[in-house]
Amino acid sequence: MFAIKDIRKGTDLFYGDDDEIVWVDRAKVRRLPREVRRLYEDFCVIRDKGRTYGCPTSFNRLTVSWYLNSSSNPNVSCDNDYRFFAARNIKAGEELTVDYSTYNEFH
């Protein structure tokens, strides 16, 4: 995902994207068909030492915030409520990246 305009440091990048995150036990995910498990592995926030997957209420409700790529030198940060903010000024055309390890145990 790339910035379509200059973004100032501190900007809430996905304002209004406040759908609930549903927390699903890993045991339930393991019983799902392989293709469905892949959605959980690719898009969910993982916590509790890998025992819990955080996902949208439906994978049909994935918004652009779920498509951020990870970087060890990100320009986006995530708070404890899984909201994303510009960590620095971002120029139009720059890829938006976040450090998954700051909010996701297994990425």
The answer to whether the CB of 29 falls within 8 A of the CB of 37 is yes
Q: Each residue of 28-42: pLDDT tens digit?
A: 999 999 999 999 999
pLDDT in tens, the chain (107 residues): 999 999 999 999 999 888 899 999 999 999 999 999 999 999 999 999 889 999 999 999 999 999 999 999 999 999 988 999 999 999 999 999 999 989 888 75
- What's the Rg (C-alpha) of the chain? 14
